[in-house]
Amino acid sequence: AREVLDTIKVIDAGEVFGTTVIESERMGYTDIYWSTNLARCVFPMEILECILENFIWRLIDMENNPR
């Protein structure tokens, strides 16, 4: 049996929240990505890891430099 990669749904919620919601089907969590320039996509895990790394740094940046 081959491993099924996690599919990540990026739901553009910018009109409502000014953010983009990232939802993981396999892990069952939802995260907020603080950028609205992402289109509705499905990402493999490799790209997700890059996005989440940016997400963490964005959170740190937002805490240190509130707008």
Tell me what pLDDT residue 41 has: 44
Q: Structural domain of residue 27, as residue ranges?
A: 8-64
- The answer as to whether 59 is a domain residue is yes
- The answer as to whether 47 is a domain residue is yes
Tell me what pLDDT residue 37 has: 43
Sign of the CA dihedral running 24, 53, 21, 8: negative
Tell me what pLDDT residue 31 has: 53
- The answer as to whether 3 is a domain residue is no
- What's the pTM value of the predicted model, to 2 decimals? 0.28
- The answer as to whether 2 is a domain residue is no
Q: Give the β-pairing of 29-33 and 20-24.
A: antiparallel
Run means of pLDDT, 10 residues per run, the chain, 67 residues: 50 46 54 45 58 67 67
- The answer as to whether 42 is a domain residue is yes
Domain total of the chain: 1
Three-class DSSP category at 56: helix
